[in-house]
């Protein structure tokens, strides 16, 4: 049972003062995790940390110095000008400060509001960005308008949160701060000397500091506040993982022996021969499965290196040995694709008589589900392909022998550990297309066996990669016009789903969203353009992908949802916008979406105007090599902590607070800490052990706590 002290953290946000249904649904959009399906709770807000800070200059003179700065001004209203435009009015409120003019501009606001705020001769306090317009300054849609006497109520600095349309940082800050007033004090779960040595504060103080930053240093990944929280999260996940692993390796597993007849038949219809490297790994997998120890193996291999085939052979072996096998993909799209591919292969051969394959995901209709579930329970179905819906409590397997987790890095840390729940002592095979250096993988996955698939199937062509400045986007457009006339297709990836709040206008850099780019391309290419992103309903997502696959659309504007696995051989161009905002490994993954057919393929990395030399150097690595392992190493070495926005918005969704590789030293420290903790106090019974249990609950590792003796 979760300790009472954590109750407030798990209160649904609609119970928080100031959050109504509308804000609740916006927050849900913003904070929803792929990890689990539950309401957005206070904890999600508290762990939604600022990525920047705005500082405002108070009472500056109106002079060229204030151009594009955030300012707080005391002004006198001189004249309200209303300019009719279409069926609306634009309002330009002429103001002065010591006889120097500055305007306030509204594009879209009710005239009653204007009337109530701006009476001629009145003195007002205003905050916003001072922009130059023709011969004067103006502030468009000020963040604050107050009576002049209240000028001190306008904050001189304010945190900036990663946002979604409809929620401003101001509101976010306000609701989070109102939550913070109710935070409890905790018994410390960190080692005191370690904490002192790092000059970290208590958990509670850290949280309130991070949401009320005084300078931009306070919100950086290396600020002591952020480090402490990252450490808390990493400590919890390392501890949870150690408990899971201890549980897995304690038990003996199944011994799945079979003559491999089915596997051999399958290979015959496959249409290609396994590479030597694939054969080697297959041998390792088969011998793990035959042994009575539990298999816990990770195959790391670049995109397209042929991991999936191995996974399927393992499943077939499992079935031939009298067991069931489950294949878990990170998204519905991928699960469906895997399923259809498998069906198409086995249909060609008499092995289809032995294999009964089904698809089970979150969007499986209830009536179909009702039919499938008993068949899984009776063992009639022997291969289940799905998403993490597979691990819902209602799904009961008769005799599950093998679980395959594809693209495992896409799953939340929590989900990845859920497979231990069913208690069937299954063999576990993880697959990852994100090669990570050995030191890191040992820490992330512990002492599991790792097979490296380095050799690529013969006949793969190199994808030509180019870097182009966003300024030249028109050239790119005319390039793709030709591409689609030749009956080829194009992926167009952007970092964000929707446009960022205007507060980011501060930074003089534009980060493009799929929605904006979709609109823009639609003007040029009409219905040939499709859109897909993570915030769409899954049936809409599936439809968008299907339309692209059936060539109904020729250009697919997408976020990184298409990063993994999606296989559309007719797509020959991958355009990635604001490429500097992505990690190299991620770009490499995206690039792997093209070059899957016989045609020559290209990848275009569009970089923004504000990209520094370093990011260009980074992108160059991709141009030079297509070895995923090498790219991952370079990424680790080069990736600065600078592009906060990029990492939070489009990096791996692995942790809420920790950011890898930036926090990898903390990860190593947490690993060592956990080792010591469990040596001294294996059942977490000491005072620190109890505090650590609270930490596990805080990060929702409830399942792992069950693995401890009561």
Instruction: Answer with the entry of ligand ADP, Mg ion, none that 530 interacts with (C-beta below 5 to 8 A by kind).
Output: none
Residue 555 CB partners (closer than 8 Å, separation 6+): 480, 484, 489, 490, 491, 492, 521, 525, 528, 529, 530
**Nearer of residues 230 and 346 to ligand ADP, judged by Cβ:** 346
Q: How many residues are present in the chain?
A: 710
CA distance 295 to 5: 39
- Which CB sits closer to ligand ADP, 133 or 272? 272
How many amino acids of this chain bind Mg ion (CB under 5 A)? 1
* Residues 178-217, mask of contacts with Mg ion (x by CB under 5 A): ----------------------------------------
Q: What does DSSP say about strands 123-133 and 602-607: parallel, antiparallel, or unpaired?
A: unpaired
Per-residue CA distances from 148 to 72, 75, 80, 123, 435 (Å): 11, 8, 18, 5, 58
Cα separation of 617 and 467, whole Å? Answer: 11
Q: Is residue 589 a contact partner of residue 434, using CB atoms and an 8 Å limit?
A: yes
Smallest distance, Å, CB 300 to ligand ADP?
10
434 lines the binding site for Mg ion (CB under 5 A): no
CB of 638 to ligand ADP, least distance (A): 25
Which residues 6+ apart lie within 8 Å of 282 measured at CB?
274, 310, 313, 314
Nearer to ligand ADP, 458 or 710 (CB): 458
- C-beta of 328: minimal distance to ligand ADP in Å? 14
Minimum CB–partner distance for residue 510 and ligand ADP (Å): 33
Residue 130, SS3 per DSSP: strand
Q: Which is nearer to Mg ion, 511 or 631 (CB)?
A: 631
HSE value, Cβ hemisphere, 13 Å, CA-based, for 133: 14
The CA angle 508-513-517, to the nearest 5 degrees, is 105
**Which of ligand ADP, Mg ion, none is residue 646 near (CB under 5 to 8 Å by kind)?**
none
d(CA 325, CA 702): 26
693 is in the binding site of which of ligand ADP, Mg ion, none (Cβ under 5 to 8 A by kind)? none
Cα gap 20→190, rounded to integer Å: 37
**Least CB distance to Mg ion at residue 333 (A):** 13
Q: How far apart are CA 106 and CA 89, in angstroms?
A: 9
Q: How far is the CB of 697 from Mg ion (least distance, A)?
A: 35
CA distances, 359 to each of 353, 364, 539 (Å)? 17, 8, 15
> Of all residues in this chain, which one has the CB nearest to ligand ADP in the complex?
306
The CB-of-264 to ligand ADP minimum distance in angstroms stands at 15
Closest CB to Mg ion among 408 and 420? Answer: 408
Please, what is the minimum distance in Å from the beta carbon of residue 565 to Mg ion? 5
Q: In the complex with ligand ADP, which residue's Cβ is closer, 302 or 320? A: 302
Four-CA torsion 397, 398, 402, 407, nearest 10 degrees: -10
Residue number of the CB closest to Mg ion reads 308
Tokens of 138: 């103006």
Residue 300 interacts with Mg ion (CB under 5 A): yes or no = no
User: What residue 647 binds from ligand ADP, Mg ion, none (CB within 5 to 8 A, per partner kind)?
Assistant: none
Question: Which residues form the interface with ligand ADP (CB under 6 A)?
Answer: 272, 274-275, 278, 301, 303-309, 433, 457
Pick from 232, 243, 221: which is nearest to 194 by CA?
A: 232
CB of 306 to Mg ion, least distance (A): 8
Nearest residue (CB) to ligand ADP, 569 versus 653: 569
Q: Which of residues 79-108 bind Mg ion (CB under 5 A)?
A: none
Residue 307 or 517: the one with the smaller Cβ distance to ligand ADP is 307
Q: Which is nearer to Mg ion, 137 or 327 (CB)?
A: 327
Q: Which stretch binds Mg ion (CB under 5 A): 302-310, 367-375, 441-449, 689-697?
A: 302-310
Nearest distance in Å: CB 429, ligand ADP: 12
- Label residue 486 exposed, middle or buried (CB < 10 Å: 0-12, 13-18, 19+): exposed
Using rule CB under 5 A, residue 308 touches Mg ion: yes
Q: Which is nearer to ligand ADP, 140 or 274 (CB)?
A: 274
Residues of the shown chain interacting with Mg ion in the complex, contacts defined by CB under 5 A:
308
């Amino acid at each position: 049972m979760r300790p009472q002290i954590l109750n407030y953290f798990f209160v649904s946000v609609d119970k928080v003062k100031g959050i109504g249904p509308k804000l609740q649904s916006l927050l849900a959009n913003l904070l929803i995790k792929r990890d689990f399906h539950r309401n957005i709770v206070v904890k999600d807000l508290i762990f939604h940390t600022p990525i920047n800070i705005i500082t405002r200059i108070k009472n500056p003179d109106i002079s060229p110095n204030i151009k594009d700065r955030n300012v707080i001004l005391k002004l006198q209203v001189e004249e309200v000008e209303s300019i009719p435009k279409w069926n609306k009015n634009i309002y330009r409120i002429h103001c002065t400060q010591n006889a120097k003019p500055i305007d306030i501009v509204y594009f879209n606001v009710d005239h009653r509001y204007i009337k109530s705020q701006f009476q001629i001769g009145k003195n007002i306090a205003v905050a916003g960005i001072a922009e130059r317009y023709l011969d004067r300054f103006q502030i468009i849609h000020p963040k604050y308008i107050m009576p002049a006497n209240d000028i001190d109520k306008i904050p001189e600095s304010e945190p900036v949160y990663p946002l979604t349309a409809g929620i401003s940082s101001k509101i976010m800050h306000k609701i989070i701060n109102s939550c913070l007033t109710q935070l409890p004090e905790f018994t410390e779960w960190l080692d005191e000397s370690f904490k002192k040595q790092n000059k970290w504060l208590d958990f509670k103080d850290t949280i309130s500091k991070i949401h009320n930053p005084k300078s931009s240093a306070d919100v950086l990944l290396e600020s002591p506040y952020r480090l402490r929280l990252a450490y808390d999260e990493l400590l919890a996940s390392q501890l949870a993982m150690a408990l899971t692993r201890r549980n897995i390796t304690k038990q003996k597993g199944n011994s799945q022996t079979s003559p491999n007849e089915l596997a051999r038949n399958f290979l015959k219809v496959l249409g290609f021969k396994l590479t030597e490297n694939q054969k080697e790994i297959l041998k390792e997998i088969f011998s793990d499965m035959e042994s009575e120890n539990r298999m816990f193996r990770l195959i790391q291999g670049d995109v397209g290196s042929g991991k999936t085939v191995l996974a399927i052979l393992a499943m077939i072996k499992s079935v031939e040995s009298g067991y069931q096998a489950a294949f878990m993909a990170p998204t519905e799209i991928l699960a469906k694709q895997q399923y259809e591919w498998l069906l198409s292969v086995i249909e060609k051969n008499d092995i289809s008589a032995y294999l009964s394959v089904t698809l089970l995901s979150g969007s499986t209709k209830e009536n179909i589900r009702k039919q499938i579930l008993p068949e899984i329970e009776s063992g009639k179905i022997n291969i289940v392909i799905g998403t993490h819906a597979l691990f819902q409590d209602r799904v009961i397997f008769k005799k599950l022998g093998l679980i395959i987790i594809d693209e495992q890095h896409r799953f939340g840390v929590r989900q990845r550990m859920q497979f231990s729940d069913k208690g069937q002592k299954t063999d576990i095979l993880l697959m990852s297309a994100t090669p990570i250096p050995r030191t890191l993988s040992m820490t992330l996955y512990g002492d599991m066996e790792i097979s490296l698939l380095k050799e690529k199937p013969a006949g793969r062509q190199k994808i030509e990669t180019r870097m182009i400045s966003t300024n030249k986007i028109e050239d790119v457009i005319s390039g793709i016009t030709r591409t689609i006339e030749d009956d080829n297709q194009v992926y167009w990836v952007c970092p964000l789903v929707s446009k960022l709040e205007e507060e980011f206008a501060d930074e003089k850099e534009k980060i493009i969203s799929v929605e904006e780019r979709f609109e823009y391309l639609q003007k040029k290419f009409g219905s040939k353009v499709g859109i897909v992103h993570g915030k769409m309903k899954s049936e809409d997502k599936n439809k968008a992908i299907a339309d692209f696959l059936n060539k109904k659309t020729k250009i697919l504007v997408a976020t990184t949802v298409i990063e993994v696995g999606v296989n559309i051989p007719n797509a020959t161009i991958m355009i990635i916008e604001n490429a500097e905002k992505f990690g190299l490994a991620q770009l490499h993954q995206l690039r792997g979406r093209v070059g899957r057919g016989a045609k020559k393929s290209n990848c275009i990395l569009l970089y923004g105007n504000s990209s520094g030399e370093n990011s260009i150097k980074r992108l160059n690595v991709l141009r030079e090599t297509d070895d995923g392992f090498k790219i991952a190493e370079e990424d680790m070495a080069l990736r600065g902590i600078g592009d906060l926005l990029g990492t939070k918005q489009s990096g791996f969704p692995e942790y809420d607070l920790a950011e890898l590789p930036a926090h990898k030293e903390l990860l190593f420290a947490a690993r060592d800490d956990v080792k010591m903790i469990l040596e001294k106090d294996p059942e977490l019974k000491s005072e620190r052990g109890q505090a650590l249990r609270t930490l596990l609950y805080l990060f929702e590792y409830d399942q792992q706590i069950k693995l401890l003796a009561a």
